[in-house]
Structure 1
Amino acid sequence: MTIQKETKLNTGAIMPLIGLGTWKSNPGEVEIAVEIALKNGYRHVDTATAYSNEKEVGIGLKASGVPREEIFLTTKLNNIDHRDVPGALNKSLELLGTSYVDLYLMHWPAPMTPDWKADKSLSWIDTWKEMEKVYLAHPEKVKAIGISNVSVAFLEDLLKVATVIPAVNQVERHPSCIQDDVLDACTRAGIVVTAYSPLGSDKSPLLENDIVVRIAKKYDIAPANVLVSLQVNTPNVNVLPKSVTPERIIANLKVVDLTEEEIAELKTIEKTSHFRACPPGWTGWGNLGFPDC
């Protein structure tokens, strides 16, 4: 295989293949992680209102010295903010200290009340319509909109009514939860897939998996680099490895060309070791149409 050189969104924008994920990255750590990442070649940073670190991410962006126009910045609409998309976006921009985001995602297709219970009186499709309105009315604030944690069944429902086709669907993707059905559906619709939790989880068993370790030894790289390489060797996919450790942040940029046989072998891991780092059942909306990974 040959590593793709770039990911082009349906808006025409170019999205960097490897971005810094900031889920579970705490204030006090994440601003330093963002600064280090950008100073060492990253040009995509991913955050979310639900991570409670947008302010610190913004501090890191400025501390890096990298011009804002060179950075692809993603944030996400929180589940409890589905009733006020414009207000939620403006709050994120204020915390991030920027006038625009390159990509604004619906974090989950699961509207929730302020006390984090499923809001069954509101359809996530209606929320998407509100995101479309903000995107069309304020291109100076949001350059692209997309979805996250959306299964094939939910995507099919959205595509029946969407005026703006999502630019991205960000989903959990690693050898124990490969979700090729989601990737295939998104590719047919012209939607890029961003893989989060590419290592599986903190202290992931994938890092000790025999197949992953054997491939890592062949290329003289760390098992984590094999898992990141799997994503960037897959057409229409970019990836968000996460770390707050300077050495690991830098090391995660090292990717290799995997053979088709190695990719196929990595995908067999799901048959014997399947799990999610972020199962959708917590939302109170069932499994959101996802099969068991």
Structure 2
Amino acid sequence: MLRMTKTVNLPDGTALPLIGFGTWQLQPKAAYESVRAALEIGYRHVDTATLYQNESDVGRAVKDSGLDREQVFLTTKLRPQDARHARRTLESSLQLLGTDYLDLWLIHWPTDQDELVSTWQELLSAKDAGLVRNVGVSNYSPELIDLLTKATGRQPAVNQIPWSPAQHDPALLEEHRRRGVVVEGYSGLKNTDLNDPVLTGIAQRHGATPAQVVLRWHLEHDIVILPRSSRRERVATNFDLQGFDLTAEDVAAIDALTQVG
């Protein structure tokens, strides 16, 4: 089932696969088995975090997959409470993941106001040291992104935020686009009523599942997706998004499900 997945280029030229595999709430055994399954199915982007406490299992799965490290885009995240010893936390993450670099390191959510810039400087320092290829943030507003950029002259490559049809906010998306910040959407399926008649109708027309329709809709907006499942068949269907095309009318109908504004 391996297929080439669409990518978006980050500022340093790294290709970020638009379809990633999320590992939030996956316990050690499930994290290992699910990541192994995801990599066998064709995913080449895996997302974890210090908070998830499964970095070692994710790292072991990547190693045991037989893929070259360069073939897998690996992300982890720094908890704000670890900001004061960010480099030590990163070194621990690298050791647990069994790698000497990350493709992307994110600040998991905003720190206290007085640590916003210093924490960002720690990530930039790690990038300059070659420990991470790209750095970014998660759960930040465009205003906070601007604050970091203005203070350091260097902008986050990525902002990972909740996104779903109900949370669709074209103005917010445009704010990120204008800055050249890639949006990664999380909890897209969790925050969606998959029994909504708009979604079930579109799914039926295309011979797809409502979940596949929602994930494909994200891709139509060039939003990186991070679906998570511990069931291999679900892991596979979440990746299998190229067998159908949403029409412009389909996309507009899903956009209209927004509850923003």
State the TM bucket, normalised to the shorter chain: over 0.9
> Match for 1:222 among 195, 209, 234?
209
Aligned residue type for 1:128 = W
In 2, the alpha carbon distance for the partners of 1:258 and 1:50 equals: 35
Q: Secondary structure at the match of 2:100?
A: coil
Q: Which residue of 2 aligns with 1:248?
A: 234
> How far is 1:5 from its partner?
3.3
> Match for 1:126 among 114, 118, 133?
118
In 2, the alpha carbon distance for the partners of 1:133 and 1:182 equals: 29
> Match for 2:133 among 109, 134, 143?
143
> How far is 1:159 from its partner?
2.7
RMSD: 1.6
> How far is 1:30 from its partner?
0.7
> How far is 1:41 from its partner?
0.5
> How far is 1:258 from its partner?
1.5
Aligned residue type for 1:249 = V
**TM-score (norm: length of structure 2):** 0.92
The structure carrying a bigger helix percent of its residues is 2
**TM-score (norm: length of structure 1):** 0.83
> Percent identity at matched positions?
38
For the 8 Å contact 1:7–1:14, the answer to whether it is kept is yes
For the 8 Å contact 2:116–2:148, the answer to whether it is kept is no
Q: Per-residue displacement from partner, 1:134-178 (whole Å, max 9, x unpaired)?
A: 211x11x21110111111222232232233221111111111112
Q: Secondary structure at the match of 1:187?
A: helix
1:1-293 superposed matches below 5 A: 5-111=6-112, 122-136=114-128, 138-139=129-130, 141-201=131-191, 204=192, 206-235=193-222, 237-255=223-241, 256-271=244-259
> How far is 1:34 from its partner?
0.3
For the 8 Å contact 1:77–1:85, the answer to whether it is kept is yes
Structure 1 gap segments, 5+ residues each: 112-119, 275-292
For the 8 Å contact 2:148–2:154, the answer to whether it is kept is no
Structure 2 gap segments, 5+ residues each: none
Aligned residue type for 1:199 = L
For the 8 Å contact 2:194–2:210, the answer to whether it is kept is yes
Q: Per-residue displacement from partner, 1:245-281 (whole Å, max 9, x unpaired)?
A: 100001111223222221121122123xx7xxxxxxx
In 1, the alpha carbon distance for the partners of 2:6 and 2:44 equals: 14
In 2, the alpha carbon distance for the partners of 1:12 and 1:185 equals: 21
Q: Secondary structure at the match of 1:194?
A: strand
Q: Per-residue displacement from partner, 1:87-127 (whole Å, max 9, x unpaired)?
A: 1110100111111110000110124xxxxxxxx6x321221
In 1, the alpha carbon distance for the partners of 2:74 and 2:6 equals: 19
Aligned residues: 255
Q: Which residue of 2 aligns with 1:277?
A: none
Q: Which moved more, 1:30-39 or 1:144-153?
A: 144-153
For the 8 Å contact 1:233–1:257, the answer to whether it is kept is no
> How far is 1:181 from its partner?
3.0
In 2, the alpha carbon distance for the partners of 1:52 and 1:262 equals: 39
Highest relative contact order (Cα 8 Å, sep 6+), 1 or 2? 1
